[in-house]
Every structure is written in C-alpha cells, then in structure tokens.
Amino acid sequence: MAVVSDIRENRGIVEVACEGVTVLRVRRAHFQKCPVEIGAEIDVEAYLDKVAAAQFADGYEAALTSLDFCARSSREIAGALRRKGYVEPCVEAVVARLTENGLIDDARYAKRMAEVQSGKAVGLYAFKRRLRAKGISDDDAEEALAAFDDAQQQAACLEAARKLWRKYEALPSREARAKLGQALARRGFGWDAIESAVEEIAEE
C-alpha cells in the first residue's frame, strides 16, 4: 500500500502523488468518481484499474472523435489519451478495442501514408523517420516502404533537386553541387539517388 502525499489540479487534470512520486494524472471528472484524500492508503495498481473502468467509455468516445478527423496510429491515439488525462490501463484497453474493431490498424495506416508520400518529392529515410515517430513497427514499416523503390526515389529526388537548385545556381559549380547534395540528404534521399539527380541538374 502507498500513502497519498499530494493532490494537485491543473487545467482540469488532477495529479495524485504517493510518497512524493506522481502515480497518475487523471481528468477531474473521473477523479471525482474515484476520490482519494491526502494521507489515504491506496493500492496504486488497483486504484488505476478502478479509474480506468470509470474512464473507458469516455476514453473510447474521445478516441473515436479523434479518428473522425483523420487516421491515426495506435501510438498517436495512446499519446492523445494520456495527454487528456486517461490512465494507462484505460489507454491500453481503448487501443486494444479499437484494434479489435479494425478502427486502427498500423500496417494499413503505414501503407496509406506510403501511397500518398510516394507521389511527392520525399526521401525514403525521411519517410522512415516519420513512420518511426508515429510508432509504426519495423515490420509494418518495411511492408509500407515497398512503394519507395529505386525508380520512385530517383524521380522524387530529381523533382526535389530541381526545386532546390534555384537557391544554389548562382554559386560556383562545385559549391552549388555540394550544397544541393547536402540539402537532398537532409530530405532523406540516398546517395545513389542524390548523385544521379545532381549530375542531371548540372547537365541541364
């Protein structure tokens, strides 16, 4: 058992600390359904489960509302719920239910992102970083990245190079080529695609 040492509220979120350590952040409305007081002894795990049960319906509805605006990965949904004051057992239960119902599917989400991005001047490595930031697993990412083959990356890199070249064309040739290559690398293109694009731009 742990002793509640502090209870604070900030912008509708209540923080409960036990022995000086914050053990949960919870929405005020749900805290009022499962109140505790400073000095009370609680089983933290059991208390979290109690709060999660009180939160689940609201958390599921909040997640559905978020998905109405745009598709999201499971990590994005989980992060949004945590920021809104849903406790971890509730977050996990909501994500599991959404996954079971087919409302979130990281593999499908990654493929859709790839389909959209492969039509733009986007580098493979930049897209990989974006997937990683959204919590997409390596296996799901690799499957989605099939849309980024060598031919697609060559075309995308050349498109990006043509747009960037205007910034460097007034510089001496060697410097312009070097800066263009560096700019393309920062956009996530591989060196083979960059070398080909720089050579073609230089010839043009």
Does residue 84 surpass a pLDDT of 80?
Answer: yes
3-state secondary structure the chain: CEEEEEEEEECCEEEEEECCEEEEEEEHHHHHHCCCCCCCEECHHHHHHHHHHHHHHHHHHHHHHHHHHCCCCHHHHHHHHHHCCCCHHHHHHHHHHHHHCCCCCHHHHHHHHHHHHCCCCCCHHHHHHHHHHCCCCHHHHHHHHHHCCHHHHHHHHHHHHHHHHHHHCCCCHHHHHHHHHHHHHHCCCCHHHHHHHHHHHHHC
**What is the pLDDT, as a whole number, of residue 20?**
87
β-sheet bridge partners, residue 7: 16
Does residue 202 surpass a pLDDT of 80?
Answer: no
Average pLDDT over residues 168-191: 91
Q: Per-residue confidence at 89, pLDDT binned at 50, 70, 90?
A: very high
Does residue 203 surpass a pLDDT of 80?
Answer: no
**What is the pLDDT, as a whole number, of residue 88?**
95
**What is the pLDDT, as a whole number, of residue 169?**
84
Average pLDDT over residues 25-50: 92
Average pLDDT over residues 48-61: 95
Which amino acid appears at position 143 of this protein?
E
Higher pLDDT, residue 46 or 147: 46
Does residue 86 surpass a pLDDT of 90?
Answer: yes
Q: Domain 2-100 belongs to what architecture?
A: Orthogonal Bundle (1.10)
**What is the pLDDT, as a whole number, of residue 117?**
85
Q: Per-residue confidence at 190, pLDDT binned at 50, 70, 90?
A: very high
Share of the chain above pLDDT 90, in %: 66
Q: What's the chain's average pLDDT?
A: 91
**pLDDT per residue as tens digits for the range 135-163:** 999 889 888 888 888 888 999 999 999 99
Angle at 189 between CA 187 and CA 191, to 5 degrees: 130
Average pLDDT over residues 61-78: 92
pTM, rounded to two decimals: 0.78
Domain segments of the chain as ranges: 2-100, 105-204
